[in-house]
């Protein structure tokens, strides 16, 4: 039986890791800084923005709830594409994120 292979990354090494240089994306016309690999939801939270969607019925504010892509509360329109789960989507330089109202397809008059 072979001995286990050494892991190239350890929790201690990851804790000491330093991220690459920050970049920015736009949220409702506001410039938001983000670190490489950081989700859109995390970058918005870091700026104190807690809601970026409204519900179809009642227009209630929603943001990240579960943080793992199971609940769909964190939906936003990203680069013109509605219903993007921001807790799973990395913020990319130059992304355009907008608050999503309802199902994000108002132009379809559904």
Q: Show the tokens assigned to 41.
A: 């939801």
Handedness of CA 98, 84, 25, 67 (dihedral sign): positive
Please say if the pLDDT value at position 109 is more than 50.
no
**Is 73 a member of any domain?**
yes
- The total number of structural domains in the chain stands at 1
CATH code (residue 49) = 3.10.20.440
**Is 4 a member of any domain?**
no
Q: What SS3 string covers 8-58?
A: CCCHHHHHCCCCCCCEEEEECCEEEEECCCCEHHHHHHHCCCCCCEECCCC
**Is 91 a member of any domain?**
yes
**Is 14 a member of any domain?**
no
**Is 7 a member of any domain?**
no
> How many whole angstroms separate alpha carbon 62 and alpha carbon 90?
19
User: Which residue segment(s) compose the domain that 61 sits in?
Assistant: 21-99
**Is 40 a member of any domain?**
yes
For the entire predicted model, the pTM comes to: 0.77
What does the pLDDT look like over 10-63, one tens digit per residue? 777 767 778 789 999 999 999 999 999 999 999 999 999 999 988 888 888 888
With H, G, I as helix, E, B as strand and everything else as coil, classify residue 88.
coil
């Amino acid at each position: 039986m072979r001995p286990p292979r050494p892991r190239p990354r350890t929790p201690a090494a990851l804790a000491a890791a330093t991220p690459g240089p920050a970049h920015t994306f736009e949220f409702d016309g506001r410039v938001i800084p983000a670190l490489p690999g950081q989700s859109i939801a995390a970058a918005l939270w870091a700026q104190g923005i807690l809601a970026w969607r409204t519900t179809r019925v009642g227009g209630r504010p929603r943001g990240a709830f579960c943080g793992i892509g199971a609940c769909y509360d964190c939906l936003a329109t990203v680069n013109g594409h509605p219903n993007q789960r921001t807790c799973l989507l990395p913020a990319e330089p130059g992304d355009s994120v907008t608050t999503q109202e309802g199902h994000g397809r108002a132009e379809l008059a559904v």
